[in-house]
Structure 1
Amino acid sequence: MTLLVTKNPARTILIDGEWRESLSHSTFPVTDPATGAVIGRASDGGAEDTAAAIAAAAAAFDSWAGTTAHQRSAVLAEAERIMRIRQKELAALMTSEQGKPIKAAMNEVGYAADFLAWFAEEAKRIGGVAVPSARADQRFITMRQPVGVVAAITPWNYPISMLTRKLAPALAAGCTSVLKPAALTPLCAVATMEVLLEAGVPAGVLNMVTSSRAAAVGDTMVESPQVRKLTFTGSTAIGKQLAAKAAGSLKRVSMELGGHAPFIVFADADPVRAAKGAALVKFLNAGQACISPNRIYVHRSHYEKFVDTLTERVRALKVGAGESPGVSVGPLINERAVTKMESQVLDALEKGARLTVGGKRMEVDGLDGKTFFAPTVLADVTPEMLISYEETFGPVAAVMPFDDEDEVIAKANDTDYGLAAYVYTNDLSTAIRVTEKLRFGMVGVNDINPTSASAPFGGVKASGLGREGGYEGIDEYLDTKLIGIAV
């Protein structure tokens, strides 16, 4: 398979339009999580490489900010066109590097292109307003201007769509950027940047530092006075550290962090339909999604029917390498992720949970990888179990019964996280009442995919700050300037 990377794969650092090695000339391996095989190498950048990338972004800012909204829109539209043409090739690369099944990878590339298309249009909708003054001889108007150089740090679980969700609005707003992609998926980032460069993004407007030394790159970004905005997707613990450091120079910050989503099935819901929905969203990307349901609450009247249906659906899931036909659950990203699944399952079983399917590592014929974990259902989960309060990020569904609406809302809200929640009910009043009481940034009502490039994505509490996507997404990259005119 031909990977969409530069002619010299070790040159994966992009500064001022040029692909470079790291200044240290060091590299790190990139592996296929399904087999453990090395599929490439990436430049291992550090603080000096990051400083050079920031300087290039700062130098390019005035020129890019001075382009018209229509010019920026055209570049993003062209990037969308190229990405859709290369969808199969990009998806194949993602499956090799990240492990997700090829169908899911195809969907992700399409989702990534959606952000390019959406913000190509939003670029042309940046405007100001006229504000009435109390003085007869004064007029107020506002204008929206790009915040400046943006530092973007992206995760491995969605290695292309999370890039365009940040870089597309930054480009649309007139910002320049420095990207630090996840060390586990740098080749997807290289391929994405090549699409954007081919679409006409000028040298210096987009820069990237691949690195296995996240702290060296991240610290340089947050400490640089030239960087005026930090956008991060990752763990809550790291997000808090970065936000604290960014406060030193009063940077704009947006954070998309961890989740611990409740999935609530009320007595008036269809338990079979709800169980089918839970199986689809829980095991998407092998459970490695921040909006994946962690706690499934089912009304006691439907509990056994729901557990039986969910178990039947999960037992039918095919596990294997992402490029294999019919596979719906690929490998976890690494050995550490599998160890976490084992720990959570063992803890739950020791404390009284009931295992209905899965619960252990899997060996997949013909593969040397050690990162497959059987899709798992744990019934009768209780609050003291690790899985009830620790983010799972893997293919383990935790199910528990409830009797009362107020009780289940209290349990659902009993978490530091507040990203996504799910409600299954056939009663409109229940849907509205419960949705209003859930302290989460997004709620799916009889809907397992409450996301779109055109809709705001983000959480509350320890799940983050700000929103990505929708018309709100570009606001994160714009400052408002007030102009007072005496007449």
Structure 2
Amino acid sequence: MSEERGLLTHEPAGSAPLLDTRSAAERAAIDSVPKGLFLGGRWRDTPATLPVLDPSTGARLCAVADATPADGLDALTAAADAQADWANTPARTRGDILMRAHRALLADTERLALIMTLEMGKPVPEARGEVAYAAEFFRWFAEEAVRLDGGYLPAPTGGSRFLVTKQPVGPSLLITPWNFPMAMGARKIAPALAAGCTCVVKPAEQTPLSMLALAAILADAGVPAGVVNVVTTADPGAVMTPIIADPRSRKLSFTGSTAIGKILLEQCARTVMRTSMELGGNAPLLVFDDADLDEAVEGALAAKMRNIGQACTAANRILVQRGIADEFAQRLAARMAVLPMGRGTEPGVVVGPLIDADAVAKVEHLVADARRRGATVRLGGTAIDGPGTFYPATLLTDVPDDAELCHTEIFGPVAAIGIFDTEDEAITRANDTPYGLVAYVFTENLRRGLRVCEALDTGMVGLNQGVVSNPAAPFGGVKESGLGREGGFTGIDEFLETKYIGVKV
């Protein structure tokens, strides 16, 4: 850290400012976002600030508030103070507010997409898609808010009746990642609010602007003061740990790495806090020799290149049956070779920058390790000189199972192809991982498709499709990929407690 004019910053000491080449529209989009903490319905500035950088240039976009642990506890106090009134707000009223947020997001798509592209790097068309995806969570849970059910039945032995009801779990801590900075927030905030829970949201330090913009939209949509609070910080451990330890916190929903998730689970155990964890993935994509190759290539492209490969659902291990492996690799290489790379604001760009220099270094290391172990680079494979943190679309073939990238998330635009011979071998290798978020299967044989899908140890499977995420479907994994589900009919249950009332008759 360096100190300038009495304000803490987190820019490299002695670094020269990079030339700011933003357009007037880009400047206006960034200027439109509040930069403070959002606590109790008010925006609060802080002495320390956190710079937000454009990964496509390395230039500083702006600075946002950098919260202290005391600020974090103030956010929790605001949420706790608002909890009773929000829980008692009629479900229809809560749903109406969420529906207004849905409409507001769609109406503001262009501004929000540009903000997201500038701070995260994904191409603007993908950012527009994420805004629409985020908006759909508010619509889905607006409709679910009024459908919370319970039960009534006589005791089997007579003499009493069982009443079963569902109530909000209480103030919830929502920690969101940088790769989908608006959608992951919406996927947590919408069910929390629908269930009657207030919340404290901590966005990733690399991408705070999308969440701050969303907080302003929610306030305009009628979310009462204290129901949604946003805390931005460069030191999430110091700020979140006291909130987690506070008994007023009753729920933690986290999306991020498995390593951090395990630490948070240990912390939550001290107060037996309810948790939802959407953690790492190591998704296999299986292509059988009876697959529609055109469909399989397009599916693999979607599963691998969405969000520049920076997704926990990305196809990490592409396993192709031997008889079609060469043709599949040729077709996929041809499709990847023509994907335009550049700044996400440029027309036609598909491959934007990775989030930061560490991400590029990780991808470089994984590709180099695979080559040392015998993999062949069919396309790409070399990082692009700056400015910006770019890595080209890369295709590796003959990737051995002991390559490091087969055991860790690549989080970059690298497609790694291995070969299998039999169905049993494909299933065994696909399941040979501590992770179990999602898998993809391509086959025209319905019996095989169902058989393989049921045998895979994952929470989700895409059968002949490369994208599975949908607000109306339950998203989540098994094993070390997480706990609980987001979205779908079960998503709201993560924020509800079931209460049984015995009535003597």
Q: Which residue of 1 aligns with 2:22?
A: none
Is the contact between residue 168 and residue 195 of structure 2 (CA under 8 Å) also seen in structure 1?
yes
Aligned to 2:276, which of 247, 254, 258?
A: 254
Determine if the alignment matches structure 1 residue 380 to structure 2 residue 398: yes
Distance 1:303 1:106 in 2: 35
Kindly report which structure 2 residues correspond to 1:29-108, keeping only aligned pairs within 5 A, or say none: 29-108=51-130
Distance 1:265 1:309 in 2: 13
Q: Which residue of 1 aligns with 2:431?
A: 413
Give CA-to-partner distance per residue, 1:94-150, whole Å, 9 cap, x none: 011110000000000000000000000000001211133023321111111000000
Give CA-to-partner distance per residue, 1:238-257, whole Å, 9 cap, x none: 00000111010000000000
Is the contact between residue 159 and residue 504 of structure 2 (CA under 8 Å) also seen in structure 1?
yes
Superposed displacement of residue 449, structure 1: 1.3
Secondary structure of 1:283's match?
helix
Distance 2:143 2:34 in 1: 34
Distance 1:6 1:213 in 2: 24
Distance 1:346 1:269 in 2: 31
Is the contact between residue 418 and residue 441 of structure 1 (CA under 8 Å) also seen in structure 2?
yes
Is the contact between residue 34 and residue 213 of structure 2 (CA under 8 Å) also seen in structure 1?
no
Identify unmatched segments of 5+ residues in structure 2: 1-24
Secondary structure of 2:43's match?
strand
Secondary structure of 2:250's match?
strand
Superposed displacement of residue 32, structure 1: 0.5
Kindly report which structure 2 residues correspond to 1:277-292, keeping only aligned pairs within 5 A, or say none: 277-292=299-314
Distance 1:80 1:10 in 2: 23
Q: TM-score, normalised by structure 2?
A: 0.93
Aligned to 1:322, which of 344, 347, 351?
A: 344
Is the contact between residue 302 and residue 467 of structure 2 (CA under 8 Å) also seen in structure 1?
no
Identify unmatched segments of 5+ residues in structure 1: none
Determine if the alignment matches structure 1 residue 18 to structure 2 residue 42: yes
Distance 1:401 1:246 in 2: 42
Letter in 2 for 1:435: C
Is the contact between residue 276 and residue 309 of structure 1 (CA under 8 Å) also seen in structure 2?
no
Distance 1:236 1:296 in 2: 22
Q: Which residue of 1 aligns with 2:382?
A: 360
Count residues with an aligned counterpart: 480
Q: Which residue of 1 aligns with 2:459?
A: 441
Determine if the alignment matches structure 1 residue 225 to structure 2 residue 225: no
Distance 2:226 2:29 in 1: 21
Superposed displacement of residue 221, structure 1: 2.3
Give CA-to-partner distance per residue, 1:332-380, whole Å, 9 cap, x none: 00000000111011111111101100001124xxxx5331001100000
Give CA-to-partner distance per residue, 1:184-234, whole Å, 9 cap, x none: 011111101011000000001111110010101221221111000000000
Task: Go from structure 1 to structure 2 and tell me whether the alpha carbon gap of 1:6 and 1:92 turns closer, same or farther (over 3 Å shift).
Answer: closer
Determine if the alignment matches structure 1 residue 168 to structure 2 residue 190: yes
Determine if the alignment matches structure 1 residue 294 to structure 2 residue 294: no
Task: Go from structure 1 to structure 2 and tell me whether the alpha carbon gap of 1:96 and 1:6 turns closer, same or farther (over 3 Å shift).
Answer: closer
Q: Which residue of 1 aligns with 2:160?
A: 138
Letter in 2 for 1:417: Y
Task: Go from structure 1 to structure 2 and tell me whether the alpha carbon gap of 1:372 and 1:68 turns closer, same or farther (over 3 Å shift).
Answer: same
Distance 2:197 2:34 in 1: 28
Aligned to 2:414, which of 383, 387, 396?
A: 396
Letter in 1 for 2:455: K
Aligned to 1:201, which of 215, 219, 223?
A: 223
Aligned to 1:469, which of 481, 487, 492?
A: 487
Aligned to 1:266, which of 288, 295, 315?
A: 288
Secondary structure of 1:227's match?
coil
Is the contact between residue 287 and residue 393 of structure 1 (CA under 8 Å) also seen in structure 2?
yes
Q: Which residue of 1 aligns with 2:473?
A: 455
Q: Which residue of 2 aligns with 1:149?
A: 171
Superposed displacement of residue 420, structure 1: 0.6
Question: Larger deviation: 304-313 or 267-276?
Answer: 267-276
Secondary structure of 2:499's match?
strand
Q: TM-score, normalised by structure 1?
A: 0.97
Q: Which residue of 2 aligns with 1:275?
A: 297
Distance 2:128 2:274 in 1: 33
Secondary structure of 1:476's match?
helix
Is the contact between residue 90 and residue 109 of structure 1 (CA under 8 Å) also seen in structure 2?
yes
Determine if the alignment matches structure 1 residue 371 to structure 2 residue 389: yes
Is the contact between residue 218 and residue 242 of structure 1 (CA under 8 Å) also seen in structure 2?
no
Task: Go from structure 1 to structure 2 and tell me whether the alpha carbon gap of 1:8 and 1:474 turns closer, same or farther (over 3 Å shift).
Answer: closer
Question: Larger deviation: 184-193 or 269-278?
Answer: 269-278
Fraction of identical pairs, as percent: 48
Q: Which residue of 2 aligns with 1:424?
A: 442
Is the contact between residue 284 and residue 329 of structure 1 (CA under 8 Å) also seen in structure 2?
no
Is the contact between residue 5 and residue 191 of structure 1 (CA under 8 Å) also seen in structure 2?
no
Letter in 2 for 1:130: Y
Question: Larger deviation: 132-141 or 169-178?
Answer: 132-141
Distance 1:200 1:249 in 2: 32
Q: Which residue of 1 aligns with 2:8?
A: none
Superposed displacement of residue 384, structure 1: 1.1
Secondary structure of 2:480's match?
helix
Distance 2:193 2:50 in 1: 29
Secondary structure of 2:490's match?
helix
Letter in 1 for 2:392: A
Distance 1:232 1:3 in 2: 31
